[in-house]
Chain A
């Protein structure tokens, strides 16, 4: 029932030292240290990239496509995330960065920021129509793939609050295929990504039966070749997105673009969880829209970026101010007529469940509670689990042994030592002569 459990975050076993830093930072308790290495529990990973950010040994990374994926297509369209623009300093305009992509083997570019503007319109329209139909309340943006997976794994009761509109990446890819190159089969669309989660959703899309994206290339992989190409690029009017779309690269950009009053925006996975806990408790009665982004400061904080998120955000804001002064450019295609709605519901994922059967799960939960009582409660991580409670659940499930806890092990050693001393005192009757 969980569907494909593919995730793009992986481990380089040669670099992992078996420390428990990533284990403790993982928001879905998806990592355990086993045999001296950090192992990811597939069903729980939401591709948020926290482990990539926190690993002191750079042993965690996200799999993305190499530039050689372009080779199998005659028409090769780059769809860059607006975050790309913030990776380069003020010498390089959006037009020049887009021109640079054309020097690297792409035959065309279409901005995800333009897709974002259409997604903002569709989102505003959805919230308005839902309100008229009497189903107001709080709507959660579905743009961040890690946030959507967080809901699937940890807050399934909030899945019915997701705005059923596809992400700007999918919107841009569909516009390219359906409007710019209709009916062609030799067109490849490639997302230039700050995000680990987008690699996964381009293969196993959320709420869609198929993704229109053919490959995902990490910003950090394209950064150096692009930087080298930029000085030689002749500037042409290639960008079509306005400030409203470009602003999606950072927190607040999306809610400003959607323009719904009573919106809140939250970034960083820990703060996102705090908002969802409150929402689940019914605490956000006066909120209409929640922009939630897993990375610090939004997509500019993505694990596949190069530049510091806050510097990148300041640059993006400068681009927005400049764009606001210029007249809008002629559109590359005419208006609406592309359906941005999700096609299938986004299901809950059962990764955190103790057992498929509620009775069995109940027995395990009870056992875990008893085990937890007996543990020291230091959450030291030496057992390879993030907390004593998570460890107790692992033991109850049969995934760990009680003596994996060094305090429990020590208790056992002590008992054994006492027993040895006791046994030493006994004499066989033949030798027992007082």
Chain B
């Protein structure tokens, strides 16, 4: 089954709503608690990225009994150098975001640590699609 959410591009206080809804659904299914945590962390990071960099977009979660596949799609500026963006600590977040304690550049590597599979497609000037897979019996630490 599929769950679908619109993520606002300008209201940081709404970020996390989609991941809270997805967590609720996973709780109703009774999936492994470690998998819930990994889903929460990676989806929240991706949601934050979409608000801060992507100007908002659409989040979908494809649920099946053994895994969840989350797709976060925005029409933002895209990522020019994906390899650089995957490095710990690298950040292009504006100053005001960093002052709020976000944008320390932990986003993508943190998702990678928590996801069983991470796939990023990005076209500069067009947008970015991040696909995160969490296997309910997995352990995270995907190799891109």
Contacts of A156 in B (CB 8 A): 27, 33, 36
B7 at the interface (CB under 8 A from A): no
Query: How many residues from A make CB contacts under 8 Å with B?
Result: 28
Q: Which residue of A has the minimal Cβ distance to B66?
A: A358
Tell me if B65 and A280 are in contact (CB < 8 A).
Answer: no
Residues 28-54 of B, flagged 1 when their CB comes within 8 A of A and 0 if not, give: 111101101100110011000000000
Interface stretch (choices A215-223, A301-309, A346-354, A401-409): A346-354
A362 at the interface (CB under 8 A from B): yes
Q: In whole angstroms, what is the CA distance A281 to B41 when docked?
A: 4
A42 at the interface (CB under 8 A from B): no
Tell me if A352 and B63 are in contact (CB < 8 A).
Answer: no
**Residue among A278, A281, A361 having the largest count of chain B Cβ atoms under 10 Å:** A281
Tell me if B65 and A353 are in contact (CB < 8 A).
Answer: no
Tell me if B27 and A365 are in contact (CB < 8 A).
Answer: no
B19 at the interface (CB under 8 A from A): yes
If over half of A's interface residues share one DSSP class (helix, strand or loop), that class is named, otherwise mixed; here it is: helix
Tell me if B40 and A280 are in contact (CB < 8 A).
Answer: yes
Contacts of A158 in B (CB 8 A): 37
Q: In whole angstroms, what is the CA distance A277 to B43 when docked?
A: 13
Contacts of B37 in A (CB 8 A): 157-158, 280
Q: In whole angstroms, what is the CA distance A154 to B40 when docked?
A: 14
Q: Assuming A281-B44, A282-B45, A354-B28, is B20 touching A362 (CB within 8 A)? A: no
Q: How far is the CB of A139 from chain B (nearest CB, A)?
A: 16
Q: In whole angstroms, what is the CA distance A281 to B37 when docked?
A: 7
Which residues of A are at the interface with B, using a C-beta cutoff of 8 A?
Answer: 154, 156-159, 277-278, 280-283, 348, 350, 352-356, 358-359, 361-362, 364-366, 368-369, 393
Which residues of B are at the interface with A, using a C-beta cutoff of 8 A?
Answer: 1, 3, 16, 19-20, 23, 25, 27-31, 33-34, 36-37, 40-41, 44-45, 63-65, 110
Q: Sorted from nearest, which 7 A-B pairs have the closest CB atoms? A: A281-B44, A282-B41, A353-B30, A157-B33, A157-B37, A366-B1, A156-B33
